[in-house]
Amino acid sequence: MIRIGMLTSGGDCQALNAAMRGVAKTLFNSKEDVEIYGFLNGYQGLIHGKFRLLTYNDFTGILTQGGTFLGTSRTPFKTIQIPDEDSLDKVAAMKQNYYKLQLDCLVILGGNGTHKTANLLREQGLNVITLPKTIDNDLWGTDMTFGFQSAVDIATDAIDCIHTTAASHGRIFIVEVMGHKVGWLTLNAGMAGGADIILIPEIPYDLDKIVKKIKERHDQGSRFTILAVAEGAISKEDAKLSKKELKKKMENYKYPSVSYEIAEQLAKKSGLEVRVTVPGHTQRGGSPCPYDRVFASRLGSEAGKLILKREFGFMVGYRNREIVKVPLEDVAGKLKMVDPNATIVKEAKMLGISFGD
């Protein structure tokens, strides 16, 4: 008999259900007796003992469904070791529920914050296997996370739609792309959507360089310009500020997001009409794309294989086109950012894309 607990934590993304189905089908199709307990709404379910016993049927018909059938929540790592308002020791509570159910392993699907807590639970002696989910693709130790390709598709669609209206009106358009503190999603959707300017957190921008690029395009006869701007994009001036100074600036920040700040400054400097489009959480919604369905199923299946071999303490990741197991202690707390000197950035520049640097 093997007994596992499963949970999804942090912001949702496409293919969470496909990944859980991959784990469950692999286990149910093995020769072992298997019990799977699903904890509801992320670590909250594990902390407060909210779970249900799942059957084979819970995992059928969910391959194509977005979201997570277990529900999710954000339980920030920085709060995990601080007792809550009822003086509950969250780590002790999670351990207690794990032992009460006599679990052999926890399967945890999540991004950066989730991995820090997963690693803490491993350090506390629990058996843990994790799967890398996030549209941001910022998890260290894996070239790709599931959810990312689906989000690239949606953000690209948004840029495609903006392209036609921008061309008709001869306007400057900013499409703001998610990605938190990294630029993977913006870089990929920007290139796929034929953006003229791509601004990512890893390459601070200079507004004058952006204006120069727009002018160049106008001189070459293009009436419109598309900017793909990461929600975490930062100007060269702001990048020089200390954390404290930046925090102070943000206290009096009057814009809903960086794109609106850039839009106002661009309109002033160029005298052109600028519009902002923010696809926002649509990038995390809807069905997973076929790539993510296959990718998440493969990762899930490999996770199932590790569990059957009683190999714990790993994230199942993807490197150099191979599925690999990465020690959790290597993953936790590290961010995978776009290298400003990466080949893909150089190629984008050779295509004439400006990064505003």
Give the nearer residue to ligand F6P in terms of CB position, either 148 or 314: 148
Give the nearer residue to ligand F6P in terms of CB position, either 15 or 126: 15
Q: How far is the CB of 289 from ligand F6P (least distance, A)?
A: 16
Give the nearer residue to ligand F6P in terms of CB position, either 2 or 192: 192
User: CA angle, corner 137, sides to 236 and 248, nearest 5?
Assistant: 35
Q: How far is the CB of 156 from ligand F6P (least distance, A)?
A: 16
Identify the sign of the CA torsion 238, 151, 76, 112. negative
Applying CB under 6 A, does 284 fall inside the site for ligand F6P? yes
Q: How far is the CB of 81 from ligand F6P (least distance, A)?
A: 21
Residue in 12, 58, 89, 136 annotated catalytic: 136
Q: How far is the CB of 65 from ligand F6P (least distance, A)?
A: 18
Applying CB under 6 A, does 180 fall inside the site for ligand F6P? yes
Give the nearer residue to ligand F6P in terms of CB position, either 5 or 232: 232
Applying CB under 6 A, does 111 fall inside the site for ligand F6P? yes
- The beta strand positions in the chain, using DSSP E, are 2-8, 34-39, 51-54, 105-110, 128-132, 172-177, 197-199, 225-230, 274-277, 314-319, 322-327
Which stretch, 50-58, 93-101, 173-181, 240-248, contacts ligand F6P (CB under 6 A)? 173-181
Applying CB under 6 A, does 201 fall inside the site for ligand F6P? no
Binding string to ligand F6P for residues 37 to 76, with x set by CB under 6 A, is what?
-------------------------------------x--
Which residues in the 231-250 window bind ligand F6P by CB under 6 A?
231
Residue 95 β-bridge partners: none
Alpha-carbon distance 43 to 50, whole Å? 10
Give the nearer residue to ligand F6P in terms of CB position, either 36 or 108: 108
Applying CB under 6 A, does 179 fall inside the site for ligand F6P? yes
Q: How far is the CB of 179 from ligand F6P (least distance, A)?
A: 5
Q: How many residues bind ligand F6P (CB under 6 A)?
A: 11
Contact 312, 128 (CB under 8 A): yes
136 is catalytic: yes
Q: Which of 22, 25, 136, 202 binds ligand F6P (CB under 6 A)?
A: 136
Which stretch, 92-100, 119-127, 130-138, 222-230, contacts ligand F6P (CB under 6 A)? 130-138
Question: How far is the CA of 16 from the CAs of 127, 132, 310, in angstroms?
Answer: 21, 10, 23
DSSP 3-state of 2: strand
Applying CB under 6 A, does 178 fall inside the site for ligand F6P? yes
HEC letters along 290-357: HHHHHHHHHHHHHHHHHHHCCCCCEEEEEECCEEEEEEHHHHCCCECCCCCCCHHHHHHHHCCCECCC
Closest residue to ligand F6P in the complex (CB)? 178
Burial 23-59 (b: 16+ CB within 10 A, else e): bbbbbeeeeeebbbbbbbbbbbbbbbeebeebeeebb
Question: How far is the CA of 187 from the CAs of 21, 204, 250, in angstroms?
Answer: 30, 14, 25
The first and second tokens of residue 295, run together, are: 């990718």
DSSP 3-state of 194: coil
Q: Could you list the active site residues? A: 136
Residue numbers at the binding site for ligand F6P (CB under 6 A) = 11, 74, 111, 134-136, 178-180, 231, 284
